[in-house]
Chain A
């Protein structure tokens, strides 16, 4: 599989984060809560909440994931998606090209 997150991208993103972390010490905090003034609160919060959400979502999958035809023909999930007004459907209907 081709990966888009190459080392270069990672280094670039890491560099941007580093700059932002540095900028943290130059901002003038005027939040309403104590935590907002804590150094790097937003950075740490963003990083960890993202990871926590991903792992929580993976766990949730164990409980609620079902096969696509779970609701049978009373749902559109197992239907051919091209019915939703796609180019292919329009072509099949009129025998001509799209707009």
Chain B
């Protein structure tokens, strides 16, 4: 049976009234679900015939297995991080969200995929609404509209695809029909393609601090999985991915809300995976999958670190933080592990996975793409590798005196940090899980030296700029992004159009009223009680006039 069911049933555990037993049972759910599929041989299970559709709830192969494994791990880590939670709604939403994501990964057909795809949308919005503020309510509505929109595009696409091919199997598709284009765009929205991305940066920082850890793991990586399954080797993806990796760098660099910085950096990391999927060679696909796995872990870790700081200090704004190295040294160490992993330092996970994608882009001769990805790597060091830990733990000392993060948070962060180092030092077990055999050795002298040069010289630039006072100041602000178009421009345009319609309607109706009044006055003048046509004449005058006419006729006859 699909492990999603374990999560859905497990969500009932939120009814347990005592906080600690409830937390323990919740933690067991991902483990039980993992045990339910981890030992099964690769095959298609749970095939159901519904009318003439063949549904498949549990397709286990190398691709789905890696993602399901990583999602189980992410679910476990985020539940552990959120162990202190009293909010049962959020706990239930986390489980249903994680379960839906795993269900979607195992879906062998597009209908099942659609059901779980919408499941992730519906469950995850409660992680934003769990904040229970006016702003979170509106942000959640925007998020939900876009996520459900993606699901509807998927539904429309799959219906067209079914009419055309007679099959709903979720296999590799070519972008040769309207239906597959719709499916592609549906995946693209959840994957935060450039210009379709702003839901991510809008919503993730609005969630609760535990919710954003959960959110960071599933939706976008599910979309990467769907692209890898459906559209591997689609050339557009190479350029979409390169743009995606590069542009968020600038926004992340100037952003003040650290969870939004991480949302941008997540977006940029997704770009690397999308490039890998687009290139589509075995090395590139392995790179995309491995990078998805590694990035889920270090991105969760970074969200956890910012979350822990937010939990203790009550703020996640770079401008209000700084100097926490003394009060939260352990969190700082874990945060550095995440920062080094995302920056692809040798012996950290990003190094062993991102380089597969970069090598694949070089092998296939995509020079410009390779250069853009290299620049995006420097950018990653800038906004996440340096800026995030710098602004929280060093930077401007704000004199914040807080305690170290709670034990359960430290354990969750420690596990994630251990994985970041583990995958970096010993990537072979991860490589062994990948869809294709990996013939790649990350630890060559050439690779280690060039990567260290890239990163340390960039760090040198940082040191010089900050000494010269040229580094970006942290300012309390928001920055406009694509979401401005639907949050400000379109409502503004609508208001303008409705204003124009209203004033012109008023002017028109005033004019028509005036004309009607004038008409009525004229009609009244002729037909009213005193009007010419309403005058009454005596019958006698009629007789007289007839006599006169007859007289004239008579006279004319005799003439």
A residues sitting closer than 8 Å to B (CB atoms) are 1-5, 9-10, 13-14, 16-17, 20-21, 23-24, 26-33, 36, 40-51, 53-54, 56-58, 60-61, 63-68, 70-71, 73-79, 81-88, 90, 93-94, 98-99
From A21, A29, A83, contact of B131 by CB (8 A): A83
How many chain B residues sit at the interface, stated as a range, is: 35 or more
In angstroms, Cα B207 to Cα A73, docked, is: 15
In angstroms, Cα B77 to Cα A23, docked, is: 40
From B374, B394, B457, B470, contact of A47 by CB (8 A): B457
> Do A20 and B87 touch across chains, with their CB atoms under 8 A apart?
no
Q: Does B210 contact A (CB under 8 A)?
A: yes
Taking the closest CB of chain B, its distance from the CB of A36, in whole angstroms, is 7
> Known: A75-B135, A85-B210. Is A14-B382 also a contact (CB below 8 A)?
no
> Known: A31-B362, A66-B480. Is A54-B133 also a contact (CB below 8 A)?
no
> Do B453 and A53 touch across chains, with their CB atoms under 8 A apart?
no
In angstroms, Cα B381 to Cα A9, docked, is: 18
Binding site of A, secondary structure by majority: helix, strand, loop or mixed?
helix
> Known: A33-B367, A81-B315, A84-B208. Is A76-B131 also a contact (CB below 8 A)?
yes
> Do A85 and B362 touch across chains, with their CB atoms under 8 A apart?
no
In angstroms, Cα B479 to Cα A66, docked, is: 6
Spot the interface stretch: B61-69, B444-452, B526-534: B444-452
> Do A68 and B476 touch across chains, with their CB atoms under 8 A apart?
yes
In angstroms, Cα B87 to Cα A88, docked, is: 15
Q: Which chain A residue lies CB-closest to B130? A: A85
In angstroms, Cα B84 to Cα A53, docked, is: 40
Taking the closest CB of chain B, its distance from the CB of A73, in whole angstroms, is 5
In angstroms, Cα B465 to Cα A62, docked, is: 19
In angstroms, Cα B478 to Cα A98, docked, is: 31
In angstroms, Cα B210 to Cα A84, docked, is: 8
From A9, A26, A45, A93, contact of B374 by CB (8 A): A45
| Chain B neighbourhood of A46, CB < 8 A | 378, 453-458, 461
Spot the interface stretch: B173-181, B231-239, B306-314, B427-435: B306-314
> Do A17 and B457 touch across chains, with their CB atoms under 8 A apart?
yes
Taking the closest CB of chain A, its distance from the CB of B277, in whole angstroms, is 20
Q: Does B459 contact A (CB under 8 A)?
A: yes
> Do A5 and B253 touch across chains, with their CB atoms under 8 A apart?
no
B residues sitting closer than 8 Å to A (CB atoms) are 19, 83-87, 130-136, 138-139, 202, 205-211, 249-251, 253-254, 257, 310-317, 323, 362-363, 365, 367, 370, 374-375, 378-379, 381-382, 394, 396-397, 406, 408, 444-446, 449-463, 465-467, 470-472, 475-481, 487-488
> Do B396 and A66 touch across chains, with their CB atoms under 8 A apart?
no
Binding site of B, secondary structure by majority: helix, strand, loop or mixed?
helix
Q: Which chain A residue lies CB-closest to B364? A: A32
> Do A88 and B250 touch across chains, with their CB atoms under 8 A apart?
no
7 extra interface residue pairs, beta carbon distance < 8 Å, beyond A5-B463, A43-B454, A78-B135: A20-B453, A42-B450, A42-B454, A54-B471, A74-B134, A85-B210, A86-B209
Q: Which chain A residue lies CB-closest to B85? A: A85
> Do B478 and A66 touch across chains, with their CB atoms under 8 A apart?
yes
> Known: A53-B382, A70-B478. Is A99-B406 also a contact (CB below 8 A)?
yes
In angstroms, Cα B460 to Cα A30, docked, is: 26
| Chain B neighbourhood of A14, CB < 8 A | 460
From A49, A60, A65, contact of B458 by CB (8 A): A49
In angstroms, Cα B333 to Cα A42, docked, is: 28
In angstroms, Cα B484 to Cα A70, docked, is: 10
> Known: A83-B132, A84-B207. Is A75-B139 also a contact (CB below 8 A)?
yes
From A47, A60, A71, A82, contact of B250 by CB (8 A): A60
In angstroms, Cα B19 to Cα A98, docked, is: 12
> Do A20 and B452 touch across chains, with their CB atoms under 8 A apart?
yes
